[in-house]
Amino acid sequence: MSPTCVALVPARAGSKRVPSKNVRELDGHPLIAYTLAAAAESGVFAAVVVSTDAESVAAIARRYGGEAPFLRPADLAGDMSPDIAWVGHALATLASQGRSFDAFSILRPTSPFRQAATIRRAWERFLAAKGADSIRAVEPCRQHPGKMWIVEGDGMHPYVQGRAGAAPWHSTPYQALPKVHAQNASLEIAWTRVVTEKRSIAGDVIAPFETQGLEGFDINGPDDWILAEHHARTPGALPAVKR
């Protein structure tokens, strides 16, 4: 029997850089609708649950096929609230309602170009990652840490020194540097035991899931929104939304 998995979609009402971005319209639908559509179409999840602190967001989520069986407490919905807090709350609340799952996936609405096929590929990767507590979406980084600096007063020093006896990374061509990945917001999948046993959303052993193309595109600020509107004009770039 295949393990059961619940999709957890975080959609708190507060957003400073892009106000109300989780429900702001992109190509005719609230941003959250694309994540809900991809999750449902994937066929991976036993439930698709939205964690929000606002009934207005919950109502939109329900209209687009998601569940919102509870509201997130205000103290778990601040700018600095860690993921483990709201994930733990969501899983514990569902468990109190008699709904427990072997695994969970975090699907953030700010990655609208993530497709159902992306989720299915990630689920297969997760099941194949023997011994892993979780998988996390990553992509090759554009700003290599070998080119980063820490400024202290009137001087600075490299953030990463590189290998002893070799040319410093800050003076090495990008192509010659080790390949480094950066996490993106596309998705995470983990066994629910890591939350209860380790008080973590990732655990100790994390396997990579490398996204492709726009799968890892994340809307963080106004410029990202402009780019998202541009990409949304490409046929098929966004998941098909059903109401």
**Secondary structure of 111-126 in HEC code, one letter for each residue:** CCCCCHHHHHHHHHHH
- Residue 227: which domain range? 5-140+181-232
Number of H helices, E strands in the chain: 6, 10
| pLDDT tens per residue, range 170-226 | 999 988 999 999 999 999 999 999 999 999 999 999 999 999 999 999 999 999 999
CA separation for the pair 36, 62 (Å, rounded): 10
Torsion of CA 122, 128, 134, 137, to 10 degrees: -30
Identify whether residues 71 and 172 lie together within a single domain: no
- State the CATH number of the domain containing residue 206: 3.90.550.10
Let me know if residue 82 belongs to a domain: yes
Identify whether residues 164 and 189 lie together within a single domain: no
Identify whether residues 147 and 136 lie together within a single domain: no
pTM of the model: 0.93
Split into its structural domains, the chain has a count of 2
Let me know if residue 237 belongs to a domain: no
Identify whether residues 104 and 73 lie together within a single domain: yes
| pLDDT tens per residue, range 14-62 | 777 787 899 999 999 999 999 999 999 999 999 999 999 999 999 999 9
